[in-house]
Amino acid sequence: MKAAAKPLVYLVLLTGAALFVLPFAWMVLTALKPVDQALGQPHAWLPLRFEAPLGGRRVEVRTGDRVVEPSVVALQAFSARPVVLPARTVWDGAWHPATGAPLPIKVLREIPASPAAPWREILSVSGGESDVVPESAIDSHVSFRWENFPRAVASMRHFWRYLANTLIVCVLNVIGTVLSSAVVAYGFARIEWRGRDRLFALLLATMMIPFPVVMVPLYGLYRHLGMVGTLQPLWVGSFFSSAFSVFLLRQFFRTIPQELTEAARIDGCGEFRIFWQVVLPLCKPALVVVGLFTFLGAWNDFLGPLIYLTDEHDFTLALGLEAMKTSQSGASEWPYLMAASTLVILPVITLFFLAQKSFIEGIALTGTKA
C-alpha cells in the first residue's frame, strides 16, 4: 500500500468506528442525564446542571418549556431587567413566583412580549416551585447523574434474579455448545467414514433455516416434555451441537498436522484420548471463539425467553429490560432505561476485551487449510 493512501484508509476506518460507537455513546450519556434533559430540545450530548439565584441562595433548577412567541408575556416588575414568562403557567388568575407576592394576570398581559428578548425558558426549582430567571443569572456545568444506575436497578424489580438466570443460561449454553460441537467437528475433520462430506453439507444447509420455521415444532416438543415455563428450553438444545460452531471447529481441526494424531495412535492412544489430550489443547483459540459467540447469543437472546418463560422470576435480563420499558409511563424514565441497558451491555464488552487476543487469533487461524 502506498504511503499516500494510508491516511485515507485510516480516515475511513475511524469514520466507520465512530458510526458504530455513536449509538453506544448516546446510550451512556443519556443514562447519566436527568429525566428532563433526556429528550430535551435542542438536544445536548452532555448532561448539564443548572443553578440560579432564588430566595437569596443559589439552587439547582431544571429547564422547562422553551419560551416561544406568541405564548409569552413580558414583565418588568420584580426585576431590574425584563424577564419572560410562558402565559400558560398562570393557573388561578395570578402568577406565583418562588419569592414575592402573586401578580395578577392583568399586569402580565399589559406589556407585549419581545421575540428578541435574550432570556432562557421558565425554570422549575428542584423543590417544585416555579420562577422566571434571566439567562445571565443562570450558570450551567457538566454534571453526570451516577445515581441513575442504582435507581435503574431498583426500577427493574428483580434485577439480580434476572442476572442470575441469564448467567445460568449462558454458562450452560457455552458448556453444551463447546463440548458437543467439538465432538461432532472432530468426527467430520479427523475420522474417515462413508458419506461424511455429504452429511456435513447437509449440516451446513440447516444454517439457512430461520428460527421462526422451527419455532412452533420446538415449542410443541418442549411443552410435551414439560419444559415450558422453565429455563431448560433455553439451554438443552446446545448439547446437540450448533451447525456454525461445528463448521468453525472443523476448519480449525483440519489445520492440525495428521502426523500428531498418527504418532498418538502408534503410542497406543484411543480416538477419544487423541481428541481430548492432543487435539483439544491445540484448539484453544477456536474454542474461545465458539464460546464467545455462544455467550453473546445467549446473553442477547430475546425471542427464546419470550416464548418459553412464563414466570417473572425466571426472566432473563433481555426480558427484564422489556418489562421495565412497558411498566414506565411516557418517556420520562428514559435515563433509567438507558442506565439499565448500559449495565446489561457492560459484562459483554468486558468479556470481549478479556478474550480479545484469543478471539482474534482463533478467527485468523480458522480456515487456513481447505
The answer to whether residue 187 is domain-embedded is yes
Residue 361 confidence (pLDDT): 67
Q: Of 325, 330, 347, which Cα lies nearest the Cα of 152? A: 325
Q: What is the C-alpha to C-alpha distance for residues 42 and 64, in angstroms, rounded to an integer?
A: 12
The answer to whether residue 176 is domain-embedded is yes
In the chain the first and final C-alpha atoms are separated, in Å, by 28
Q: Are residues 118 and 221 in the same domain?
A: no
Q: Are residues 70 and 155 in the same domain?
A: no
Q: What is the C-alpha to C-alpha distance for residues 113 and 108, in angstroms, rounded to an integer?
A: 10
Residue 170 confidence (pLDDT): 96
Q: Are residues 86 and 188 in the same domain?
A: no
Q: Are residues 133 and 271 in the same domain?
A: no
> Would you say 252 and 365 are in contact if contact means Cβ atoms under 8 Å apart?
yes
Residue 188 confidence (pLDDT): 94
Residue 38 confidence (pLDDT): 80
Q: Are residues 132 and 180 in the same domain?
A: no
The answer to whether residue 352 is domain-embedded is yes
Q: Are residues 320 and 224 in the same domain?
A: yes
Ramachandran angles phi, psi of 174, nearest 5°: -65, -45
Write the Ramachandran bin of 229: left for phi over 0, alpha for psi from -120 to 50, otherwise beta: left
The answer to whether residue 28 is domain-embedded is no
The answer to whether residue 267 is domain-embedded is yes
Q: Which residues contact 346 (CB under 8 A, 6 or more apart)?
A: none
Residue 77 confidence (pLDDT): 36
Q: Are residues 119 and 239 in the same domain?
A: no
The answer to whether residue 258 is domain-embedded is yes
| pLDDT tens series, the chain, 370 aa | 566 678 888 888 899 888 988 999 999 999 999 877 887 666 778 888 877 776 677 777 665 433 332 233 333 333 333 344 444 444 444 555 544 555 444 444 333 333 333 333 333 434 444 455 555 667 788 889 999 999 999 888 889 999 999 999 999 999 999 999 999 999 999 888 899 999 999 999 999 998 889 999 999 999 999 999 999 999 999 999 999 999 999 988 988 888 888 888 888 888 889 999 889 988 888 898 899 999 999 999 999 999 999 999 999 999 998 888 776 654 458 899 999 999 999 988 888 888 777 777 666 665 444 4
Residue 167 confidence (pLDDT): 95
- Among 111, 143, 175, which residue terminates a domain? 143
The answer to whether residue 66 is domain-embedded is yes
Distances (CA, A) of 316 to 59, 168, 198, 241: 42, 10, 39, 23
Residue 328 confidence (pLDDT): 61
| Residue 342: CB atoms within 10 Å | 19
Q: Are residues 267 and 331 in the same domain?
A: yes
Q: Which residues contact 125 (CB under 8 A, 6 or more apart)?
A: 54, 59, 60, 61, 98, 131
Q: Are residues 242 and 305 in the same domain?
A: yes
Question: CA 158: distance to chain centroid?
Answer: 18
Q: Are residues 177 and 119 in the same domain?
A: no
Q: Are residues 259 and 284 in the same domain?
A: yes
Residue 346: which CATH number?
Answer: 1.10.3720.10
- Among 143, 175, 190, which residue terminates a domain? 143
- The residues pairing with 86 across neighbouring beta strands, listed in sequence order, are 72
The answer to whether residue 26 is domain-embedded is no
- Among 143, 159, 176, which residue terminates a domain? 143
Domain that holds residue 169: 151-365
Residue 132 confidence (pLDDT): 54
Q: What is the C-alpha to C-alpha distance for residues 167 and 173, in angstroms, rounded to an integer?
A: 10
Number of domains the chain is built from: 2
Q: Are residues 219 and 315 in the same domain?
A: yes
